[in-house]
Structure 1
């Protein structure tokens, strides 16, 4: 079973995403900020990261930059934010995101790209 780490400081957002991902058959872990997420990543690998931008201690950009510096298998990361400007997207991709989605997301907007990034998309 593929493991996904949801990194978001808002409990309601984590619960919403967890519900969608578990219904789609993924195992889900949560972290409330980039620092906690890095600790989890270094203990055990994940297949994909769902990363919020604005969080205390270490934001999404900082988390991705740190993650990409680590000497571990690099898995896809989807940055998800309420910010929709081209500049926000550029910063996300520069930090190491594979995809940038704008909140709120509908279930199919989340599940389809995840399946694609994990190589599970139907032919």
Structure 2
């Protein structure tokens, strides 16, 4: 089963995404910021990353940039943010994100994108 790391400083957002993803059969782990996420990636890389943009210690853009420079399995990264300006999306793609979604991500849409990026049938 695919392993997904949800990275967000808000516990309620992590729980929301965890519930949505686990209901579709994914194994989910959580990190509170990019720095904690890097530590988890070094222990065991994931199949997909769901990344908030604005976080303390290491923001989402920095996490994805660092991830892309690491010698680990390069899994898809979905950036999820309240920031909806075009330059925010551009920055996410320049950092190495595969997709940019605005919060709150609707469960069915999120699951569809996750399935697509993982090469699975839509749940």
- Normalising by structure 2, we get a TM-score of 0.98
Q: Structure 2: give runs of 5+ residues left out of the alignment.
A: none
1:38 aligns with 38
Report runs of 4+ in structure 1 exceeding 6 Å deviation.
none
Q: What is the CA distance between 1:117 and its match in structure 2?
A: 0.2
Match of 2:90 in 1: 90
- The match for 1:78 is 78
Task: Work out the CA distance in 1 between the residues paired with 2:73 and 2:41.
Answer: 10
1:101 maps to 2:70: no
Question: Cα deviations across residues 58-109 of structure 1 (Å, max 9, x unaligned)?
Answer: 0000000000000111000000000111100000000010000000111011
1:121 CA displacement: 2.5
Alignment of 1:14-25 (within 5 A): 14-25=14-25
Q: Determine helix, strand or coil for the equivalent of 1:120.
A: coil
Looking at structure 2, the residues matched to 72 and 5 of structure 1 have their Cα atoms a distance apart, in angstroms, of: 14
Q: Which residue is 1:60 aligned to?
A: 60
Query: Any gaps of 5 or more consecutive residues in structure 1?
Result: none
Classify the secondary structure of the residue corresponding to 2:21.
helix
SS in 2 for 1:49: strand
Matched position secondary structure for 1:117: helix
Shift of 1:22: 0.2
